[in-house]
Amino acid sequence: MRVRRALVAVLVAVAAAASAQVAYKRAWPTLAADGLHDPASPALAILQEPSEALSALPPDFAGNLVNWMASLDGGYIKPRSTVLADTRVTLRSTDVLLKRTGELPLVVFPHRQHTAWLDCTNCHDQLFQQKAGGTMINMFLILQGEKCGVCHGAVAFPLTECARCHSVARGSDAEKTFRNLVRE
Amino acid sequence: MNPADRYVPRRRPRTRLAVALFAIVAAVLSALAPDAGAEYGDVVINNYSDGAGMRPVVFPHWFHRVRYRCKVCHADLGFQFKAGGNQINMVKIIDGQFCGGCHNGDIAWSVENCNLCHSGKPGTLTQVHESTTSQIASPPARVTAK
């Protein structure tokens, strides 16, 4: 029991220290120093540096240190929805409740934020059934890069941001606003 | 009886322990501060580049999502949600597929600007950089298609 508590304390300390540090200095490595670009590449004099684009966007404490949703909603960026003439853009705002979360708070999946970026076919029906509760999702799959982990942990906010998905306390008033796992 | 009343917490030692742990972890983390490291979501595509004597491609997600929503590439242009998942080559790009949907000299720079995309360190593996998955579950795949 004591070992378990100590472990929890360590995890909390790591998370707190890590987030405190990121919050403290919001800085992006230069392309030449990022470990991926070849410092000898002639492109480095031409390509845009992350700090130039990202420092103007609403801050976050993980990933690119940018709150991408706030950037979109706030009009800081105006990314195009299509480059093809005949593309149909579909938006949706239904929230879905995911209740098999063990001891953690329940998960709310918001369609609004996801359809702002993605097309229905990106998730349905390969990754997720359209019926609420119809897909087996768990953290083992997600941590291996499946289900939500296809994007979260690769490009959307990372898997260290537990509470952004696990956001509704069990038995809370917020839980009662869902009917059959769905809130319009 | 309220279950919460059963324990008389020994606050002080545990607080001290937590503070000590926090200090240690913070010290270690600041010593190991990740100063270098590509942007979260940067993708390296090295299916064929090394074999062709070109630098691998570095695709910056952050740059593209400022200008385009995910659906443009991942729905309309057919990019899979997997680094190196599309067998992209220059013939397809010149034909207007994948990167060539925009990198055609019309929407974005065209294919004669080889170095702007092929800008990675030679030998870098195909991967999504900084992905939680590759940090926790599996390192970047060593398999490269020929």
Domain edges within chain B? 43-136
Tell me if B76 and A42 make a contact (CB, 8 A cut-off). Answer: no
Domains and CATH numbers, chain A: 2-63 (no CATH), 95-183 (3.90.10.10)
Least confident of A22-36, A157-171, B6-20, B53-67: B6-20
A107 at B interface, C-beta within 8 A:
no
> How far is B52 from chain A, CA to nearest CA, in Å?
16
Topology of the domain covering B43-136: Cytochrome C3 (3.90.10)
**A10, A34, A83 ranked by CB distance to B101: nearest:** A83
Tens digit of pLDDT for each residue in A92-118? 999 999 999 999 999 999 999 999 999
Tell me if B25 and A54 make a contact (CB, 8 A cut-off). Answer: no
Between helix A2-24 and helix B11-31 the angle, nearest 10°, is 40
Tell me if B55 and A38 make a contact (CB, 8 A cut-off). Answer: yes
User: A130: how many CB neighbours lie within 10 A of its CB?
Assistant: 10
pLDDT score recorded for residue B34: 45
Tens digit of pLDDT for each residue in B13-35? 566 676 677 666 555 554 444 44
pLDDT score recorded for residue B144: 46
A164 neighbourhood in chain B, CB within 8 Å: none
- Inter-residue contact B56 to B44 (CB < 8 Å): yes
**Residue B73 has what DSSP assignment?**
I
pLDDT score recorded for residue B4: 53
In terms of CA atoms, which chain B residue is nearest residue A51? B39
A87 neighbourhood in chain B, CB within 8 Å: 75-76
**B77, B119, B128 ranked by CB distance to A37: nearest:** B119
Tell me if B26 and A160 make a contact (CB, 8 A cut-off). Answer: no
> How far is A127 from chain B, CA to nearest CA, in Å?
11
Amino acid at A156: A
Tens digit of pLDDT for each residue in A149-180? 999 999 999 999 999 999 999 999 999 999 99
Tens digit of pLDDT for each residue in B72-91? 999 999 999 999 999 999 99
pLDDT score recorded for residue A15: 65
Nearest to B40 by CA among A159, A164, A158: A158
Is the four-CA dihedral A60, A65, A71, A72 of positive or negative sign? negative
> Torsion over CA of A154, A159, A163 and A169, rounded to 10 degrees?
110
Interface test with A, best of B72, B103, B118 (most A CBs within 10 A): B72
Tens digit of pLDDT for each residue in B111-120? 999 999 999 9
**A18, A81, A121 ranked by CB distance to B29: nearest:** A18
pLDDT score recorded for residue B40: 92
pLDDT score recorded for residue A149: 95
pLDDT above 50 for B145: no
pLDDT score recorded for residue B35: 43
> How far is B51 from chain A, CA to nearest CA, in Å?
17
pLDDT above 70 for B93: yes
Band of pLDDT at residue A17, cut at 50, 70 and 90: low
